[in-house]
Structure 1
Amino acid sequence: MKKKKFLLIVLSLLVLFAGFTLTKSFLVSSKQPAPVPTSVVINEEKAIQNFSKALTYKTISFQEREKFDLKEFDKFIAFLKDSYPNVHEKLDLEMVNDYGLVFKWIGSQSNKKPIGLTSHYDVVPVLSGTESNWENDPFSGAIKDGFIWGRGTLDDKIGVIGILEAAEYLLTEGFTPSRDIYFMFGFDEEIGGDLGAKAIAEKLKQRGIQFDFVLDEGGAIVENMVPGVEQPVGVVGISEKGSATATLSIIGSGGHSSQPKDRTNIGRIASAISKLEETQFDGKLRGPGNDLFEFVAPEMNFGMKYVFANKLLFKPIIEQILLKEPATAALIRTTIAPTIFQAGEQYNALPEEASAIINLRLMPGDSLEDVKEFIVNTIDDGEITVTVTGTEASSISSTEGPQFEAIQQAARNVYNDSIIAPYLMFAGSDAKHYDSISDNTYRFLPVQISSDDLNRMHGTNEHISIKNYINAIKFYIEIMKVTNQQ
């Protein structure tokens, strides 16, 4: 009798559990605005030719600034003036450090906070020895079989040209924004943006400019990105990870390799790295990573929707699944990547010094001090000196206000079936420099690309489809129109 009663209680609890969790699953509602398909018709042939020409200028950022060929930068700026006459006639242009470009489009209600659209026109070098691997010359701007080829097609001349094409179109249509719009184009983003975006932000800060939001390059629209979601998912960076360099070093006696100590300098550094890789930072579904699943859960198949609608119950399981793949693990924890090991010069001599450099990408909320403390405690070797330098993660921007909704709406107006969601950006961008003068900073490249395209951004055969390029222009037109109504 007692056994039956116990089983009845267990069964009742299971029914209540199932009812509660299933109800939560059915109550999950979409966070996507209904698309209003764009009706914009642009002069595609002219826009394509402009982009092709823009790619021929070798505006390359080198780590050593003296290697910059500034004549190419001058030519590019002259090209912009010739190609976008309305923009240069009707918008105010200011040059910062000679090559940073700031266009100000004065709105009818300048008392409103302005918005900023930012990109950069510098590109990374082509890796020496890989030139022959390109199907088309990296600075040819070749147009073939529906694609445009060259450095900057994805990172990030497409942003500069896309914005200017959009502005030129709107000016031709007689459009006047309700609020001021700034276009801010950096020229050294690939090496940190200190003389470009950082200097631009500092100048605007001195003038008391505070943006409603700034939109920079970042996540894109990718197919098969999220398990359980059939539609392409466009991810908008609402924060970017910090980047830190940790140096582990030890100085001790060397000597002949025929009489080594039980623990050598190389061994101690190797052991320290091994401990860090075995331990790792805690992976927690929080912040932008959690927001991503809040936005995509309503669009998932029922099984996945059930799990994420009840993620408070399934959170430990979800975290373990995410930690299994590098791309998803990076979404929920500070990452550890040993990149340089230095020790020894002679095969039969023990080195007196050994060191290792580790690159870490910091989650929002993890400080440089936290990182150093974690490393010191984990390696547990008082003879190893640990130094940590770098930048912490940017602030986290809102996903609940009209600013994020404007990006969603503009993207869905162009890519009607895409799901637009927030995420944490792993790489760096100029957006971080605008954090202090903007209520929100977002990171989104308005193109639909594959995972292979992502690998081409700094690699060989960077190119983009003509359709994607035209859609990027339409997105920038839509974002300016949508924000005009707010």
Structure 2
Amino acid sequence: MKKRKLASLIIVGLLLLFIIATGFNTLTLKSKQPSPKPVKTVINQEAAVAHLSKAITFKTVSYQDRSKFDFSEFTKFIDFLQETFPAVYKNLEFEKVNDYALVYKWKGSDSSKLPIGLTSHYDVVPVLTGTEANWEQDPFSGKVVDEKIWGRGTLDDKIGVIGILQAVDYLLAEGFKPDRDMYFMFGFDEEIGGDEGANAIVNTLKERGITFDYVLDEGGAIVENMVPGVKQPVGVVGISEKGSATAELTIEGSGGHSSQPKDHTNIGRIASAISKLEDTQFKGDLRGPGEDMFEFVAPEMSFGMKYVFANKGIFEPVIEKILLQQPASAALIRTTIAPTIFQAGEQYNALPEKASAIINLRVMPGDSLSKVKKFIEDTIDDEDIKVTITGTEASKVSSVNGWQFKSIQQAARNVYQDAVVAPYLMFAGSDARQYDPIAKNTYRFLPVQITSEDLNRMHGTNEHVSIDNYMNAIKFYVEVMKEANK
């Protein structure tokens, strides 16, 4: 009886210690958000809106088939910039790379400091044939209706090009002088990989020995209802982006008449391989940029969620299980598998001699292409299926502890005072990865507050941005240049 009572006391004591320790971790979790500073920037809204509106009218469309490019529209856009921002062209060094990529250098007073770079792109995706009538406003009209600017590029990414130049123009008028060199770099083929735009800029600057302290490109934005347990909008700054890889599974063998099939045909074996991959999946692991994100948002969560994340070492398996339940959060913690193409057969009564499948993978930092290939081969366990994989590795992971990230975070907080600003892992591609070889850090952030519907409009129908969002984007770029000067 005494032993049973003693055991009960020990269990109660351990439970009490557990509650005290985990409760202490929760209550002492400190916010990682800097206090916002009042923004005093006053932009000429009428002129700024007119500039973005006009920029949208140029059909600077990127096509996978480069022969379809209408470069006369790109030339008109470049001429428009020079006419619109004469002070920028007078005070900054300007050059064109590959005729259409644009580089502006604002000379700083202290050559001992590494420069920073702000980059965007002015090419846009085509309007899908047959969807033109679904647009409320013509996609290249740049019309201003209901306090919104409409058209291709309002979100992706002429807003970045015009927003940055508006900010520089404003700072020039204010007499601002940068301590460090600042570069503003605008690609013209980002939507098809950036090989002749951002990549050419990087090669040019690399030859000159230029190294950036950081480069800031488009990417994450400020989104409401993004993180469970956080009431405020969350602004996510990409500190890395996933790699994009294509795996092809192929099998060849005897065909024959469909009246006498083998138990396992070429189609069946490829289908089985895909089924195994979908059933197995890569292991979810809360690490790297995903882990960083929750470290920044956890202090702002409701108590229950904060308790779980403050004691991540204990609850990590539970957290990972929850994150894996939704595609968006699962993609944050694992390499994803998406079969997209299946090819086999030509005749309904003839067994195909060859079958193949294409799988798109978005690769986590730390998962190399060679590791991904081995995982596929081990999982499908079929020596007759050939696996080939091509693509890009994940970009490097940039720091969240240095002044570089903190200055971007501060600038965002200055403009969006209620937002929680945190690092994250970007799933899509951007020009930022091109700058990895010449930048110590690369970040990805589109300084607008948008909805999940707005995200779908970026490459879809009815792309538009509110005037308030656009004006805030300009103010952010002003703030980020000021913060980099400190």
Q: TM-score of the superposition, structure 2-length normalised? A: 0.99
8 A contact 1:289–1:332 mirrored in 2:
yes
Question: 1:138-175, CA deviations, whole angstroms, 9 ceiling, x for partnerless residues?
Answer: 00001000111000011111000000000011111111
| 2:114 partner SS | coil
1:62 counterpart residue number: 63
2:307 counterpart residue number: 306
1:279 counterpart residue number: 280
Per the TM alignment, residue 349 of structure 1 is displaced from its structure 2 partner at its CA by 1.3
Question: 1:439-465, CA deviations, whole angstroms, 9 ceiling, x for partnerless residues?
Answer: 100000000000000011100111110
Aligned residue identity for 1:239: S
1:388-467, aligned counterparts within 5 Å?
Answer: 388-467=389-468
Question: 1:64-113, CA deviations, whole angstroms, 9 ceiling, x for partnerless residues?
Answer: 11100000000000000000111111100111100000000001112210
Question: 1:32-52, CA deviations, whole angstroms, 9 ceiling, x for partnerless residues?
Answer: 110002110010000000000
CA distance in 1 between partners of 2:204 and 2:411 (Å) = 29
The sequence identity of aligned pairs, in percent, is 72
| 1:255 partner SS | coil
Per the TM alignment, residue 255 of structure 1 is displaced from its structure 2 partner at its CA by 1.3
Per the TM alignment, residue 264 of structure 1 is displaced from its structure 2 partner at its CA by 0.7
Per the TM alignment, residue 412 of structure 1 is displaced from its structure 2 partner at its CA by 0.6
8 A contact 1:254–1:351 mirrored in 2:
yes
Does residue 369 of structure 1 match 2:363? no
2:187 counterpart residue number: 186
CA distance in 2 between partners of 1:141 and 1:435 (Å) = 34
1:176 counterpart residue number: 177
1:321 counterpart residue number: 322
Aligned residue identity for 1:397: S
CA distance in 1 between partners of 2:86 and 2:323 (Å) = 50
Aligned residue identity for 1:396: V
2:381 counterpart residue number: 380
2:11 counterpart residue number: 10
Per the TM alignment, residue 258 of structure 1 is displaced from its structure 2 partner at its CA by 1.1
Aligned residue identity for 1:348: N
1:149 counterpart residue number: 150
CA distance in 1 between partners of 2:144 and 2:255 (Å) = 60
1:77-156, aligned counterparts within 5 Å?
Answer: 77-156=78-157
Per the TM alignment, residue 347 of structure 1 is displaced from its structure 2 partner at its CA by 1.3
Does residue 475 of structure 1 match 2:482? no
Does residue 257 of structure 1 match 2:258? yes
Aligned residue identity for 2:368: S
CA distance in 1 between partners of 2:75 and 2:226 (Å) = 40
CA distance in 2 between partners of 1:257 and 1:165 (Å) = 67
CA distance in 1 between partners of 2:203 and 2:21 (Å) = 52
CA distance in 2 between partners of 1:90 and 1:239 (Å) = 33
Per the TM alignment, residue 417 of structure 1 is displaced from its structure 2 partner at its CA by 0.6
8 A contact 1:37–1:412 mirrored in 2:
no
8 A contact 1:55–1:152 mirrored in 2:
yes
| 1:179 partner SS | coil
2:168 counterpart residue number: 167
| 1:135 partner SS | coil
Per the TM alignment, residue 256 of structure 1 is displaced from its structure 2 partner at its CA by 1.3
Question: 1:191-249, CA deviations, whole angstroms, 9 ceiling, x for partnerless residues?
Answer: 00000001101111111111000000000000010011110000000000000000000
CA distance in 1 between partners of 2:139 and 2:340 (Å) = 28
CA distance in 2 between partners of 1:218 and 1:20 (Å) = 38
| 2:215 partner SS | strand
Aligned residue identity for 1:375: I
CA distance in 1 between partners of 2:169 and 2:259 (Å) = 74
| 2:26 partner SS | helix
CA distance in 2 between partners of 1:342 and 1:131 (Å) = 31
Aligned residue identity for 1:262: D
1:8-47, aligned counterparts within 5 Å?
Answer: 8-47=9-48
Aligned residue identity for 1:144: V
2:242 counterpart residue number: 241
Aligned residue identity for 1:315: E
Aligned residue identity for 2:481: M
CA distance in 1 between partners of 2:337 and 2:12 (Å) = 46
CA root-mean-square deviation: 0.5
Structure 1 unaligned residues grouped into runs of 5+: none
CA distance in 1 between partners of 2:219 and 2:103 (Å) = 20
Aligned residue identity for 1:8: L
| 2:304 partner SS | helix
CA distance in 2 between partners of 1:358 and 1:151 (Å) = 30
Question: 1:255-309, CA deviations, whole angstroms, 9 ceiling, x for partnerless residues?
Answer: 1111111111110110000000000000000000000000000001111111000
| 1:75 partner SS | helix
CA distance in 2 between partners of 1:37 and 1:190 (Å) = 36
| 2:211 partner SS | coil
Aligned residue identity for 1:44: Q
Question: 1:313-357, CA deviations, whole angstroms, 9 ceiling, x for partnerless residues?
Answer: 000000000000000000000000000011111111111111000
1:222-241, aligned counterparts within 5 Å?
Answer: 222-241=223-242
2:345 counterpart residue number: 344
CA distance in 2 between partners of 1:205 and 1:26 (Å) = 48
CA distance in 2 between partners of 1:236 and 1:97 (Å) = 30
CA distance in 1 between partners of 2:483 and 2:333 (Å) = 32
CA distance in 2 between partners of 1:154 and 1:259 (Å) = 57
CA distance in 1 between partners of 2:50 and 2:95 (Å) = 26
Structure 2 unaligned residues grouped into runs of 5+: none
CA distance in 2 between partners of 1:482 and 1:382 (Å) = 57
Q: TM-score of the superposition, structure 1-length normalised? A: 0.99
Question: After the TM superposition, which segments of 4 or more aligned residues of structure 1 sit over 6 Å from their partners?
Answer: none
CA distance in 2 between partners of 1:454 and 1:6 (Å) = 57
| 1:350 partner SS | coil
Aligned residue identity for 2:436: D
CA distance in 2 between partners of 1:150 and 1:453 (Å) = 13
Aligned residue identity for 1:471: N
